[in-house]
Structures are given as C-alpha cells and as structure tokens.
C-alpha cells in the first residue's frame, strides 16, 4: 500500500538531486556542502541515491507501459522524461557528484566508501519500502 506523503518526499528528494545535477551539468558550480558537514553531505547523498532509483523507476515504467490501455500523449511524455533522466544519470556529472559525496561521507564517518554506499542504499531502500514503492530489497548489479 502506497503512502502518499512518503512517496511525495522521495520524489521531492529525487527532484532536488535532478536540479543540482542539471545546474552542475550546465556549468554552475553549486555543490556547496557547507564545509563538508555530515548532515548536509548525508542529505545530498540520499538525494543522489533517490534520484538514481527514481530514474530506474521511470525507465521501468516506460518499458512496461501498456500502450493499448493509455493515452499516446502520456506514453510519449513518460518516454521523454525517462530518456532525460537516464541521460542525466549516465552523465559524468552524476558519477563524479556521487563519488565525491561518498568519499566525503566516508571520511566524515570514518568508514569505507563501500560501507557508506551500502548503509545509505539500505536507508533508501527502507524509505522506498515504507512508501510502498517497492516490495523488497535486492541488489541489481549491471
């Protein structure tokens, strides 16, 4: 069962990451995490991970779309959005930003990058489960 408030918060976080990435991609150096403070970095890191999952969700929705039961215009809009999100996700700016945030947070928490990534992915997964967006956690390595 979906929890609309939690879903809205996840989407909001993903959209914040999207705005940040688009600004960075356009040459606006706006990734200021206030002296690498733990909470600020954590927030940005979670936003990036929500964005990655959100993009995968859009891609899946488009690929699984039943074109026989929906409006063609809606299908086209979902396809365009899925493509735009995927382009941003696969851009070097996403990879560089995520890696930087992971590195900073690993230093902040005195952990390895892998430990930080796993911990935050678990948190993102739990939030998506609580919102009713996914049923379980599994790792997709591709």
Tens of pLDDT, residue by residue over 35-67, are 557 888 999 999 999 999 999 988 888 888 776
The predicted pLDDT at position 32 comes to: 59
Tallying the residues shown for the chain, one arrives at: 142
133 in Cβ contact with 60 (< 8 Å): no
**Token reading at 57:** 């969700």
The predicted pLDDT at position 137 comes to: 63
Residue 34: count other Cβ atoms within 10 Å of its Cβ.
8
Rounded CA-CA distance 5/86 in Å is 25
**Token reading at 87:** 């382009």
Over its length of 142 residues, how does the chain's per-residue pLDDT go in tens digits? 667 899 999 999 999 999 999 998 998 766 555 555 788 899 999 999 999 999 998 888 888 877 677 677 888 888 899 999 999 999 999 999 999 999 999 999 999 999 999 999 999 999 999 999 888 766 554 4
The predicted pLDDT at position 142 comes to: 45
**Hunting for tokens 């998506």 — which residue is that?**
128
Residue 101: count other Cβ atoms within 10 Å of its Cβ.
25
């Amino acid at each position: 069962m979906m929890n609309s408030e939690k879903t809205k918060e996840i989407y909001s976080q993903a959209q914040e990451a999207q705005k940040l990435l688009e600004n960075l991609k356009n040459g606006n150096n706006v990734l200021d995490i206030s002296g690498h403070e733990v909470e600020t970095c954590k927030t940005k890191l979670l936003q990036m991970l929500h964005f990655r999952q959100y993009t995968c969700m859009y891609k899946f929705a488009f690929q699984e779309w039943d074109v026989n039961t929906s409006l063609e215009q809606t299908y086209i809009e979902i396809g365009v959005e899925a493509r735009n999100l995927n382009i941003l996700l696969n851009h070097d700016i996403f990879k560089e930003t995520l890696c930087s945030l992971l590195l900073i947070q690993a230093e902040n928490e005195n952990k390895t990058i892998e430990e930080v990534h796993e911990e935050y992915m678990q948190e993102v997964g739990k939030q998506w489960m609580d919102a009713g967006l996914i049923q379980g956690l599994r790792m997709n390595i591709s």
